[in-house]
Structure 1
Amino acid sequence: MLGRFTVRPADDGSEGFGVWDGAVNGWRASGIPDELTAAEQAVELEIQYDAHGPRPADAVRVLPSPQPVRRATWSEGQIEAWVRDTGTGAWYAKFRDPTGLVSLILGNDVRPINDKKR
């Protein structure tokens, strides 16, 4: 289950954000000051957990250093890890765009950037 963790505005009247856990219908984190930080926390949780609990070790590959890539939408960024959806078997990349926003995108939608051809 990818998409278990979502970023939502705080519901306590504050200006911050939180990370909602859809598997348990409750907040996983709250009091996060900005949406970028909340999005990164949500993706990190997606990498660690699937719908049933901790993700199997063979379903996660953390890269030793970020790899520059280009998305199918022709936007550039970096991937920092891979995670396999245990339900479908599809691999997703932890993608950071130039603004710092982190998301999970389908692995088929990224291509390495060859610096020599840039």
Structure 2
Amino acid sequence: MLGRFTVRPSDDGSSTFGVWDGAVNGWRVTNLDRAAAEQMKTDLDLQFNAHGPRPASDIRSVAPPQSVELVTAWEPGELDAWIRDDGQWLGRVRDRDGYIAWIPQSDLRPAGQETP
């Protein structure tokens, strides 16, 4: 289950961000800029599910990252990893603005592929 890790403003008044671990109810890391915190969150999503370490069979790295398009108007993005979560494969995709999200496999296609 994704959602164990969330990006939150740091609680030290520094206007930085951190990654909160809901399973242990505590910070994993603080004092990052927003982009670094989002990257750290998805790195932790690759390593852990709601119950502990994610099984190796549920992780697939994509090296080098490949260009994909997201179903939302087939926007371009870059895929660098897959995880299986709750029986569904999700790809970690960075869009052209640098935003990182977990996208269901059914909502991705290789870049440049036309709709049938």
How does the TM-score come out when normalised to structure 1? 0.90
Deviations 1:24-43 (A, max 9, x none): 111111011x2111101000
Aligned residue type for 2:109? R
Superposed displacement of residue 23, structure 1: 1.2
User: Residue 13 of structure 1 aligns to a residue in which SS?
Assistant: coil
How does the TM-score come out when normalised to structure 2? 0.92
Q: Which position in structure 1 is the counterpart of 2:31? A: 31
- Alignment match of 1:93 (pick from 83, 91, 94): 91
User: Residue 45 of structure 1 aligns to a residue in which SS?
Assistant: helix
Across the aligned residues of Structure 1 and Structure 2, the Cα RMSD in angstroms comes to: 1.3
Gaps of 5+ in 1: none
Superposed displacement of residue 114, structure 1: 2.9
Deviations 1:46-80 (A, max 9, x none): 01001111100000000111110110102111100
Q: Which position in structure 1 is the counterpart of 2:102? A: 104
Once residues 30 and 112 of structure 2 are traced to their aligned partners in structure 1, the CA distance between those partners, rounded to angstroms, is 39
Task: Among all aligned residue pairs of Structure 1 and Structure 2, give the percentage whose two residues are the same amino acid.
Answer: 50
Once residues 75 and 7 of structure 1 are traced to their aligned partners in structure 2, the CA distance between those partners, rounded to angstroms, is 24
Q: More strand per residue: 1 or 2?
A: 2
Q: Which position in structure 1 is the counterpart of 2:45? A: 46
Q: Which position in structure 1 is the counterpart of 2:19? A: 19
Q: Return structure 1 stretches of 4+ with deviation > 2 angstroms.
A: none
Equivalent residues, number: 113
Superposed displacement of residue 102, structure 1: 1.4
Gaps of 5+ in 2: none
